[in-house]
Amino acid sequence: MTVYLCHEQPDLYDFEADVIGARPGAVLLSRSALHPGGGGQVSDVGTIEHAGGVARITCISTEGAQHWHVLDDPAAILASTVAVHVDRDHRSRVAQLHTDTHLLNALVFDRYAGALVTGAQINADGTARMDFDLPDVDNDELRKLEPALNDLVRRGFEVRAVYVPASEADATPGLIRSLSVAPPPTPDGMLRVIDIVGVDRQACGGTHLTNTAESGMVQITKVENKGRRNRRVRLKLLPVGG
Cα separation of 48 and 34, whole Å? 12
pLDDT at 180: 65
Nearest Cα to 187, choosing from 41, 65, 10?
65
The domain locations on the chain are: 5-86, 91-237
The answer to whether the Cα torsion of 113, 224, 154, 45 is positive or negative is: positive
pLDDT > 70 in the chain, percent: 97
Q: List, as one string, the DSSP characters of 174-199.
A: TSS-BSS-PPPPPTTSEEEEEEETTT
pLDDT band at 215 (very low <50, low <70, confident <90, very high): very high
Nearest Cα to 217, choosing from 56, 122, 99?
99
pLDDT at 144: 97
Q: Which residue has the higher pLDDT, 129 or 166?
A: 129
pLDDT at 181: 64
Give domain 91-237's CATH number out of 3.40.50.300, 3.40.50.720, 3.30.980.10, 3.30.70.360: 3.30.980.10
Task: Give CATH for domain 5-86.
Answer: 2.40.30.130
Query: Residue 82 corresponds to which amino acid?
Result: V
Q: Which long-range contacts (CB under 8 A, 24 or more apart) does 145-148 make?
A: 145/104, 145/107, 145/108, 145/111, 145/220, 145/233, 146/218, 146/219, 146/220, 148/107
Q: Which residue has the higher pLDDT, 85 or 186?
A: 85
**How far are the Cα atoms of 89, 97, 137, 195, 213 from residue 154, in angstroms, in the given order?**
21, 14, 27, 17, 5
